[in-house]
Copies of this chain bind each other. A is one copy, B any other.
Amino acid sequence: MTLERKHTNQRMSQIVIHGDTVYLAGQVAQDAAGEPSGAQMKNILERIDGFLGEAGSDKSKILSVTIWLADMRDFDAINEVWDAWVAPGNQPARACVEAKLAFTKFTVEVGVIAAR
């Protein structure tokens, strides 16, 4: 199977494509750091749209998502953004748990496995 990486730096790749399966790095809100979790989630989902597009995929092909939330009290706020964004009829498997993230300016992180 083919193996391709995009947006690779010394630590990780944002996109890894193995045959028909795409793995994204845990996405944080690079353009909404320090903002409320809902706004961060919106930025994260825009980033996911972009990276999936580069991988020849899109949100209708997401297989599984892991959401790490720094404070579970933001569960409703991120879900409101998620529910409005996710592709109707093509919702992925999902898990959402609380975890402290690497930088306090980020309060949500999303890992993605997708088909393409």
Residue numbers of A with Cβ under 8 A of B are: 1, 3, 5, 8-16, 18-21, 23-26, 61, 63-66, 68, 72, 75, 79, 82-83, 86, 88-102, 109, 111, 113, 115
Contact = CB atoms under 8 A, between A and B. Distances in A.
How many copies of this chain does the complex contain? 3
Q: Which of A1, A11, A16, A68 has the most CB of B within 10 A?
A: A16
Nearest to A110: B95
A39 to B, nearest CB: 20
Q: Is the interface of A mostly helix, strand, loop or mixed?
A: strand
17 contacts: A1-B115, A3-B63, A10-B83, A10-B91, A11-B82, A11-B83, A12-B86, A12-B93, A14-B93, A16-B63, A16-B92, A18-B63, A25-B94, A25-B95, A26-B94, A26-B95, A66-B111
